[in-house]
Amino acid sequence: MRWWEPEAVIGRDVAELARAEAAEAEARSALTPAQVAAIVERGWFKAWVPREFGGLELDLEAGLRLFEAAGWADGSFGWSVMIGAGGGVFAGLMQEATAHAVFDPKEAVIAGSGNPRGTAERVPGGFRVRGRWQWASGAPWATTFTANCVVTDGGQPVQGANGAPLIRAMAFEPGQVRILSTWDANGMRGTASHDIEVDDAFVPLERMFSVFEGEPWHAGTVFRVPFVEFAEATTAAVLPGIALRLFELVAASAKERGEYGGPRLLAERHDVRARLADALVGIEAGRTLLFDAARQTWAEAERGRPAAATLARLSLGANFAASSALRAAGLLAPIGGMGLNQRASEAGRAWRDLMTAGQHGAIRPTVLAPRGAELLTD
């Protein structure tokens, strides 16, 4: 029995390609050229990019379902689609001419970091930038890099309107960036989430933008969804896809493997059946809430800015979807057994990918208390 149909979203051919190349991607800590080419050919790196830039301009739910299905095909593949597509929301924040230069190419994809680990010194016509940033997923195939920096003047931080140091994002040409081969994680190895470094690069004023301040120049609906909640939802969407694949693999193995010290197949045991059902309904509950919250958010964004309570629901839905996927992995692990420890095992790779993806800051449970407070506000 299955009530999810990821093949209808990404196609069986892509799923088969992603899995056939997954072991090589894991070994090389980067997607294979064939995997990247498949994403570019289908325009998935430009999922949120407006149509006048050659993008797909998907609505929020459609994008989340794409990321889930890609994650079901393979964790690193799905994460790379999601992260690569995420930079598309910058198209509405950059100056229009810069946005066209960055996003018009068919292969356009951004890698970078939101953590302000660099400095941007004001100089005539722009900035001199230096810094090092962690976990720039997709760095080897990026056509543009973006990273947040503290703006300085005369070596001193510039104060923003809120009294804190002024933070601005810089868009770098690939030749200005050095990729440091630092990504050696247990899971999500194919994402190539390496560190990047910039040393005294000049960034013209028109390639500076803000992720959190100002109004987008483009009227697209996606640009009216605040970046924090958008990032939570998109990040979370990959995890149910991986969890669904892990469920399929573990359930299939339970039909073939005997219980330890007993005559029955694992799938014939009541406790195993209960665990499988518990895991699956938890994944389904999480993804259902996330997709429903996405629909509500998008409907309000089409009319203007979504209400605070709606955004809180989207945030909670994202975190619930992620935590439900991780909880399901815990339920499935005893059934999967030692096979989950084998690096060559697809189930083992899905397990490792889930554990690694679950550490992302956008979907940690620390956001639950403030979101709960927002829901209680009259």
180-191 pLDDT, tens digit per residue, is 999 999 999 999
| Number of neighbouring beta carbons within 10 Å of residue 124 | 5
Q: Which of 249, 185, 223 is nearest to 90 (CA)?
A: 223
Non-local (6+) Cβ contacts of 306 within 8 A are: 224, 225, 226, 296, 297, 300, 314
Decide: 75 and 349 in contact? Cβ < 8 Å: yes
60, exposed or middle or buried, with CB in 10 Å at 0-12, 13-18, 19+?
Answer: buried
Rounded average pLDDT per 10-residue block, the chain, 378 residues: 85 98 97 98 98 98 98 98 98 97 98 97 98 98 98 97 94 98 96 98 98 92 96 97 98 90 88 96 97 98 95 95 96 93 94 95 73 71
pTM: 0.96
Output 174-178 pairs: Cβ under 8 A, ≥24 positions apart: 174/142, 174/143, 174/144, 174/145, 176/145, 176/201, 176/203, 177/139, 177/145, 177/201
The length of the chain is: 378
**Alpha-carbon Rg of the chain, whole angstroms?**
21
Q: Which residues pair with 120 in a beta bridge?
A: 129, 151
124-183 pLDDT, tens digit per residue, is 999 999 999 999 999 999 999 999 999 999 999 999 988 999 999 999 999 999 999 999
In the structure encoding, which two tokens stand for residue 114, read together? Answer: 């939101």
Domains of the chain: 7-91 (1.10.540.10), 110-209 (2.40.110.10), 225-375 (1.20.140.10)
In the structure encoding, which two tokens stand for residue 292, read together? Answer: 């429903």
Report strand pairing: 144-153 vs 167-172: antiparallel
